[in-house]
Amino acid sequence: MPATYQIIDEKTWKRSMHCMVFRNSIEPAFCVTFELDITHFRRKIKEQGYSFTIAMVYAICRCANEIEEFRYRFLDGNIVLYDRIDTAFTYLNPDTELFKVVNVPMQDTMEEYVATATKAAKEQAEYFTGPLGNDIFQCSPMPWVTYSHISHTNSGNKDNATPLFDWGKYFERDGKTLMPVSVQAHHSFVDGLHIGRFIDCLQRFVDAY
């Protein structure tokens, strides 16, 4: 189904000035890393036999979709707000130790998403199927490292407003299973307030799942 969006009238949009200021920055994106308590979520996902990576993609993208500011993009000279954002994630080929980027439409439930994404990841032969669209969230697991900071390659396109989500190797502390998670977003659309709302939404989701 084609992505649907509305074009924003910048003359009346409350964020016009902030958008303009940050859009002209040398580096308009910023990245925040936080610790997520996955104690309950990891146990539940394991009981269901789901891929932890794919389950995390769903959890993150579901919560990001709930935050309006994460669905804004620059498109054809306009600012647009998408109704829904789909997913893209890296998936390692254990034979070659190279990753492929898998694009999967967002689904209504974890069960539907895991089934769709698992099938797509296993069947996709190409490492890259083409340029990623505007209407996706990019997810990259890095389960080999418990990191406290992460950075990304920069294409030089300051209007690339696709949020990036990463997570590292989980660890135990005080009886809890914790995992570093990072979110990079374009400051023209997203502030610390919105990052905080995303973090709260994600923690609530993994606690309640």
For residue 179, give the nearest of 66, 38, 46 by alpha carbon: 38
Consecutive H or E run containing 169 = none
User: pLDDT confidence of 4, banded at 50, 70, 90?
Assistant: very high
DSSP state of 25: S
Q: Which residues pair with 172 in a beta bridge?
A: 177
pLDDT computed for residue 187 by the predictor? 98
CATH number of the domain encompassing residue 53: 3.30.559.10
Residues in Cβ contact with 46 at an 8 Å cutoff, skipping those fewer than 6 apart: 52
For residue 68, give the nearest of 204, 193, 160, 205 by alpha carbon: 193
Backbone angles phi, psi at 91, to 5 degrees: -140, 120
Residue 1 has pLDDT above 70, yes or no: no
Residue 2 has pLDDT above 90, yes or no: no
Give the Cα separation of 207 and 58 in Å (integer): 14
For residue 198, give the nearest of 17, 100, 71, 106 by alpha carbon: 71
**pLDDT by residue (tens digit) across 90-110?**
999 999 999 999 999 999 999
The answer to the question of residue 159 being in a domain is: yes
The answer to the question of residue 23 being in a domain is: no
**pLDDT by residue (tens digit) across 118-171?**
999 999 999 999 889 999 999 999 999 999 999 999 888 999 999 999 999 999
pLDDT computed for residue 193 by the predictor? 98
Q: Any idea how long the chain is?
A: 209
Give the Cα separation of 88 and 141 in Å (integer): 11
The answer to the question of residue 24 being in a domain is: no
**pLDDT by residue (tens digit) across 23-49?**
989 999 999 999 999 999 999 999 999
Give the structural domain span for 79.
5-14+29-208
R_g of the chain, CA atoms, integer Å = 17
Give the Cα separation of 58 and 63 in Å (integer): 8
CA–chain centroid gap for 4, Å, is 19
Give the Cα separation of 170 and 143 in Å (integer): 7
Give the Cα separation of 99 and 94 in Å (integer): 9
pLDDT computed for residue 136 by the predictor? 98
pLDDT computed for residue 41 by the predictor? 98
The answer to the question of residue 119 being in a domain is: yes
Three-state secondary-structure class, residue 103: strand
Residue 59 has pLDDT above 70, yes or no: yes
pLDDT computed for residue 188 by the predictor? 98
* Mean per-residue pLDDT over the chain, rounded: 96
Both tokens of 192, joined, read 């610390």
Domain count, the chain: 1
The answer to the question of residue 22 being in a domain is: no
